[in-house]
Amino acid sequence: MCLNGKSPTSDKEVNPKIEESNRFPFCKNDKCGYMDKNCKVVINPRFDEAWDFSEGLAWVEIGGKGGYINKEGKMVWREK
């Protein structure tokens, strides 16, 4: 989550696509979710893996299967 009370953007250059989405992946207790730049959880940790958002979608994995979620955390496409 937020390290030393700092947001994910505090001490490093940020990928513009990540900054645009205002969603940053984080992991807690072996599950991943997303927080905003103020370290507020916006998508609760429930994924095994979580990648950065790009063009409004992020790749996530649950139980060995992947898919894309939207900014609200809704699965919009899933591997079969």
Q: Are 24 and 34 in contact (CB under 8 A)?
A: yes
Beta bridge partners of 77: 68
Cα torsion 11, 6, 28, 31: sign:
negative
> Tens digits of per-residue pLDDT, 5-45?
444 544 444 455 545 678 999 999 999 999 998 999 999 99
Spans of all domains in the chain:
16-78
Specify the pLDDT at position 79.
85
pTM over 0.85: no
C-alpha to C-alpha distance for 80 and 66, rounded to whole angstroms: 9
